[in-house]
Structure 1
Amino acid sequence: MANKKGRRRFGAVRKLPSGRWQARYVGPDGLSHPAPHTFPGKRDAEQWLSVVEGEILSGDWLNPELSRVLLGDYGRAWLKERKVSQRTREEHTSVWRNHVEPFLGRYQVNEIGPELIRRWRAELLEKGRSEDRTAKAYRLARSMFATAVDDGRIKRNPCRIKGADQHRTPERPHASIDEVYRLADVMPPRYRFLVLLAAFSGLRWGELVALQARDVDRETMLVRVSRKIAQMKDGELVVGPTKSAAGVRTVALPRFLDEDLAAHLPEFAEPGREGLLFTGKRGGILRRGNFHRETDWARTVVKAGLPKGFHFHDLRHTGNQMAAEAGATTRELMQRMGQSTVRAALIYQHATSARDRQIADELNARVERYRSSKRGDPDDGSAASMVPIG
């Protein structure tokens, strides 16, 4: 706006020798900021200043200097400052280096809009990236831009493609009780209890191999999960916190596992309360690669009657499925499996709920019924055999 003497109240415009007009203003930071481009006429420049003035008055103004940073520079700093586990940092760095930075890194953050994001995502898929990797790249970029919004560098996150953060994962197989026991029976004795515990607790590989003897209470049949072991791409083993805060939990175990646990502890666990529950053939932390070689996993699962390509992680899926069949609600499953979307009241729960104990007891009844049928024992009408299993 101009006053009676023809001078503007906010900002200033001037005509350049080229005939185009330039605009500049003093921002809330007390510094002079020029428009990012020139204008064909005086009125165009003044209208632009009016828009900027409105943004300042409404509190929507962003310092244009902050938004002119290259995404390449901003993304590298974001990765460095992000507080995540070493394994997650390694994964984020790989996704950034291979799928995000090569296409988007050369643009300033304020130059990247929804159209460019759509083009980038389409190019990833056209070049043969899987839906899984493309979704991971999209989620990483979206997180970076969300931080840029919080930093006052951009007004709105350009990652707004509905469903782009998801991918269709083929349904993984899960084993029946009979298949779990057949697999455990053909395992080397050292790993029999590992298979059973994975199937009937739903713990992740990294959580299982980090367990110490003190983490399992045989009297109450509870297992405390408070750490995990991650194997980096260079082979380094890193002991650290669970995948998320929700991973710190106590899980009730079916009581039938005590028999195998009692046999496993003196024979294969390290001595002492802080000794590892599971170790490799030569001692020390159990590595996934060594486990697969020592068990000849690919052939052994087929020998046990499981489908070719059955993964160790599918035993976790098996435990989840069995707990669901035992009557666990979605919320109870999320707690039992250590999912990060559990509400805060459940994330830090230190004692297993009565319902979780019931889930474990129902699992116990299902397996005891199966084992009795294999032995040919008559149904004695005991309370255990009469627990509903539907």
Structure 2
Amino acid sequence: MAAKRRTRRDFGTVRKKGKRFYAEYTGPDGAQHTPGHSFPNRTDADGWLAAERRLMDLETRTPPARRAEKEKADSLTVAQWLDQFHDLLEVGASPLKPTTMQNYRNVTRWRITQPSAPGDMDDDLTRLASMRLTDVSKNDVYRWWDAVQRNYKSATTNQQAYKRLKAAYIEAVRREMVTVNPVDVKKAGERGKAKEKYLPSDEEIEKILDGMNDRYKAFTSLIFHHGLRIGEAIALEVRHVHVKHVPGRDTPNVTVTIEQDAGRLSPDGEKTYMLIQPPKTDAGYRDVPIMRKDVPYFLDHLEKFVDGKTTPVRTADGAKEVELFTKTSSGTILMDTSYRSVLSRVKKAVGVHPDINPHTGRNWLITRLAEQGAHLKEIGHLLGQSDMDTILEVYMKVRAGRTTSLMDKVNDSLGKV
């Protein structure tokens, strides 16, 4: 083993270990500082110490480790930081749901890091991902956003990608990786006008329920008459369905408890599956009373399709065996895409509007509740929706013929003329 040789000088120390040279010095803070690496010869080690001494003389020195960290941050690209930023959201005390993270990563990839066609051929769009995080200006962001608008018509995906970029830069500013946030396109951050959703009539929903096969009648009632999200209905277990017999009444009360939902995950290299997870917000936890006219669907379902057998499912806490309220004829968890296919065939068979989808049931129920005088918080509680603006602007509709009946009521209140 080669003997260690230490050379002292006015400033710092150079020592030889093997064939390499190591430099260190004591800074004004009293701590020992090194470059974080060795040198191939003594001249280079001496040169580093001389450069550090000059920085101290000019009073511009910062510790080498901090400078190295800054150089590393300065070389980080937008794409690299977006990936790291999303990794951070998956850990900690309150990690985001896997389905939420899948959406975040997808929209980021489709519009920023690996743009899909036709944007993949637009330099104004593709250049952003490879730019250094610290080099991006407001003009660069505007060029990217203009290109996104130019190449893609999906306003929702476009705006979600913009929000991911802005959130990543907010965190970079917080960590002092950059001094200012260049992501500030006013129009991109504004909520666009929601596309008017079709409001199904009472008769159309009845036709769908009548045409649906018995296995999915209760499931369909949950979606169209009770406002459940499709993932909430899929994740419902037998233990969540409560039947209470009332003395003197032939029809019992039925209530369902919502405390989880199911989202479709498509990990790279894996088969797509449904993941059962907690609701996105606290508002998602709720009890939903079943309308008396639909109670027979649930009693029939419990008798015909609940057999006491469990189904293997994947949850946020790992693999489990649960007794699902609704499952396929083969005993597996229902895929949302499979139900949509069944619904599509039924809609065509019974002749209802093609724009009816599982989400339009929420429009129907919110509108009906409002007509019955329910206030926004009551509606939000039943639907598991905490954002009152969303209820008003997205879901609540005016039912066909409703304005006429309202004017008739006003007329009747005036008495005979």
TM-score range, shorter chain: 0.5 to 0.7
Deviation at 1:270, TM superposition (A): 4.3
Return the alpha-carbon distance in structure 1 between the equivalents of residues 204 and 376 of structure 2: 25
Deviation at 1:122, TM superposition (A): 0.8
Give the alignment's TM-score, normalised by structure 2. Answer: 0.62
Question: Which residue pairs with 1:286 in the alignment?
Answer: 334
Q: Deviations over 1:140-177 (max 9, x none)?
A: 11111121122222343322222414344321112222
Return the alpha-carbon distance in structure 2 between the equivalents of residues 32 and 260 of structure 1: 67
Match of 2:218 among 178, 190, 193: 193
Return the alpha-carbon distance in structure 1 between the equivalents of residues 371 and 194 of structure 2: 22
User: 1:311 aligned to 2:311?
Assistant: no
Q: Deviations over 1:271-305 (max 9, x none)?
A: 27952111112222112233344x3x334214434
Return the alpha-carbon distance in structure 1 between the equivalents of residues 291 and 279 of structure 2: 23
User: 1:113 aligned to 2:137?
Assistant: yes
Does the residue aligned with 2:256 lie in a helix, a strand or coil?
Answer: strand
Return the alpha-carbon distance in structure 1 between the equivalents of residues 213 and 308 of structure 2: 20
Determine if contact 1:96/1:140 at 8 Å carries over to the other structure: yes
Give the alignment's TM-score, normalised by structure 1. Answer: 0.66
Return the alpha-carbon distance in structure 2 between the equivalents of residues 315 and 130 of structure 1: 23
Does the residue aligned with 1:250 lie in a helix, a strand or coil?
Answer: strand
Return the alpha-carbon distance in structure 1 between the equivalents of residues 364 and 207 of structure 2: 14
User: 1:327 aligned to 2:376?
Assistant: no
Deviation at 1:211, TM superposition (A): 0.4
Deviation at 1:256, TM superposition (A): 3.1
Superposed, 1:58-69 pairs within 5 Å as 66=73, 68-69=75-76
Q: Which runs of 4+ in 1 moved over 6 A?
A: 29-34
Question: Which residue pairs with 1:173 in the alignment?
Answer: 198
Match of 1:212 among 232, 237, 254: 237
Deviation at 1:137, TM superposition (A): 0.8
Does the residue aligned with 1:91 lie in a helix, a strand or coil?
Answer: helix
Please list every run of 5 or more consecutive structure 1 residues that lacks an aligned counterpart in the other structure: 1-22, 35-62, 343-390
Match of 1:164 among 188, 200, 214: 188
Please list every run of 5 or more consecutive structure 2 residues that lacks an aligned counterpart in the other structure: 1-57, 90-94, 115-125, 245-252, 311-321, 389-417
- 1:87 aligned partner, one-letter code: T
Question: Which residue pairs with 2:152 in the alignment?
Answer: 128
Return the alpha-carbon distance in structure 2 between the equivalents of residues 290 and 299 of structure 1: 11
Return the alpha-carbon distance in structure 2 between the equivalents of residues 111 and 300 of structure 1: 55
Determine if contact 1:198/1:204 at 8 Å carries over to the other structure: yes
Q: Deviations over 1:83-127 (max 9, x none)?
A: 222222222222222211253221222222322211111101212
Distance 1:197 1:64, change over 3 A: same
Return the alpha-carbon distance in structure 1 between the equivalents of residues 180 and 208 of structure 2: 52
Deviation at 1:67, TM superposition (A): 5.2
Query: Percent identity among equivalent residues?
Result: 20
Determine if contact 1:270/1:276 at 8 Å carries over to the other structure: no
Determine if contact 1:193/1:260 at 8 Å carries over to the other structure: yes
Question: Which residue pairs with 1:142 in the alignment?
Answer: 166
Deviation at 1:250, TM superposition (A): 2.4
Does the residue aligned with 2:235 lie in a helix, a strand or coil?
Answer: coil
Q: Deviations over 1:2-28 (max 9, x none)?
A: xxxxxxxxxxxxxxxxxxxxx97246x
Match of 2:60 among 25, 47, 64: 25
Q: How many residues align?
A: 290
